[in-house]
Amino acid sequence: MILVTGGAGFIGSHLIDRLLDEGQEVVCIDNFNDYYSPELKRSNIAQASKNPRFHLEEGDICDFPFLEAVFERYPIEEIVHLAARAGVRPSIAEPRLYEEVNGLGTVNLLELARRYKVSSFIYGGSSSVYGAASRVPFSEDDPCDRPISPYAATKRANELMCYTYHHLYGIKVTVLRFFTVYGPRQRPEMAIHKFTRLIDQGEEIPLFGDGSSKRDYTYIDDIIQGVMAARQKAYPFEIFNLGESRTTDLITLVRLIEENLGKKAKIRWLPDQPGDVPLTYADISKARRMLGYNPQVPIEEGIRRFVEWYRKNRDRLT
């Protein structure tokens, strides 16, 4: 049985759908907080909820007795830990909240993995741990000791805690550093979803900086392929980048959304934001070699698919 934390979220719900399709039995933990609409999260797992092999447990990963009861109730063999307080800019406003949820929540799960002898622990990491690195593309061997937001600092600290539990107790841990994941069900405050909605509604979109910042945008299907490969391999301890290994600048991203919507953007230019990095760019050679990871969806096709999904679901998303 597989536990997916944050399972009603963007990545988690897609992973659960894939696991159920493959005949797995899945426990989903989610607290349906108000970071964004709980109704959207519930709609993410609406189809999964009809499956008898899906088990939803509503609660907080910071609540140790709640988690302990879940581990008592189900014979959990694998954990895919995706639950986190997300977002760079909000973490600057609420660093204590980010440290509590991301730090304590992860330690709680590692401790229960130790106690209940869980065979595999996959941690959903972030490219934010690389900070404002100038060496590109970003390699797993690069030093990650200068995070520039509380969110990034918590994600890096959790990687270190994962290694500590592996070293002390032999837990098999794989850290997956996700690079700007997008696609259907993406969180509404993330750039692609936000820009698409605002352009569609004829409202201004906020662009920070001069439009030259670049991201390694990774389509959700490629990320799920990487997670599933990591499950199959279950190395003793490894860190892998999961990205497309291609960068797209901000203004090009906007143009792609315009093209697929058939509408022009009204742009409001704003200063650079603290905590934002100028570039993310994944070296995925290690994931290719050791996981067989092979991303298939370029940004042009991914944006087309996202806009198609948005149009079909526009009424409930706006």
Q: Which residues are catalytic?
A: 151
**Strand, coil or helix: 25:** coil
Asked whether 109 and 81 are in contact (CB, 8 A), the reply is yes
> Taking CA 97 as the corner, what is the angle to CA 96 and CA 103, rounded to the nearest 5 degrees?
85
Residue 158 to residues 107, 176, 269, Cα–Cα distance (Å): 8, 12, 35
Cβ neighbours, 10 Å, residue 40: 18
Across-strand partners of 177? 125, 241
Q: How far apart are CA 3 and CA 192, in angstroms?
A: 29
Sign of CA dihedral 154, 287, 281, 247: negative
Query: Which DSSP helix (H) or strand (E) runs through 2?
Result: strand 2-5
Angstrom distance (rounded) from CA 5 to CA 203: 35
Q: 98 is written with which tokens?
A: 């980010």
Instruction: Specify the DSSP element, H or E, that contains 65.
Output: helix 64-73
3 state DSSP class of 275: coil
CA angle 40, 42, 47 (to 5 degrees): 115
21 within 8 A of 5, measured Cβ to Cβ? no
CB under 8 Å to 282, separation ≥6 — which residues? 127, 137, 138, 177, 179, 216, 218, 241, 242, 243, 244, 245
Tokens read off for 73: 């109730």
